[in-house]
Amino acid sequence: GQQVQQSPASLVLQEGENAELQCNFSSTATRLQWFYQRPGGSLVSLLSNPSGTKHTGRLTSTTVTKERRGSLHISSSQITDSGTYLCAMDDNYAQGLTFGLGTRVSVFP
């Protein structure tokens, strides 16, 4: 079946450091979406792009659909960036998403 693999599983950063989160998926995706999961569980949609690079604030999402991979770059990390980042593959507008297990990011002062 469809799979989404994220790496690393966890990441520890010192405030100000940059981070790169990876996402690989097993079948052709229409687009990749990145979410931040709050401690309470709710999801915040960060970025969604079919291919290429997209920016919002300190976040940059890069998707290479042909190679079935994507990444999320966090620049100048802040303590409030701590949490779980989920990558989800969207392979058909009419279908749901397939989620990865997430990368747990911890940022310390």
Partner 1 sequence: GALVYQYPRRTICKSGTSMRMECQAVGFQATSVAWYRQSPQKTFELIALSTVNSAIKYEQNFTQEKFPISHPNLSFSSMTVLNAYLEDRGLYLCGARDPGVQNTLYFGAGTRLSVL
* Min CB(29)–partner 1 separation in Å: 13
Which position has the token pair 């659909």? 65
- Which is nearest to 100 in space by CA: 31, 18, 33? 33
Tokens representing residue 93 in the block: 């507008």
In terms of CB distance, is 8 or 16 closer to partner 1? 8
In terms of CB distance, is 2 or 76 closer to partner 1? 2
**Inter-residue contact 95 to 28 (CB < 8 Å):** no
* Min CB(7)–partner 1 separation in Å: 14
Phi/psi for 66 (5° steps) reads -60, -35
* Chain contacts with partner 1 (rule: CB under 8 A): 33, 35, 40-43, 45, 48, 86, 88, 90, 93-102
Q: What DSSP element (H or E) covers 77? A: none
In terms of CB distance, is 77 or 85 closer to partner 1? 85
In terms of CB distance, is 77 or 84 closer to partner 1? 84
Tokens representing residue 58 in the block: 């300190």
* Min CB(23)–partner 1 separation in Å: 12
What is the greatest pairwise CA distance in the chain? 43
* Min CB(98)–partner 1 separation in Å: 7
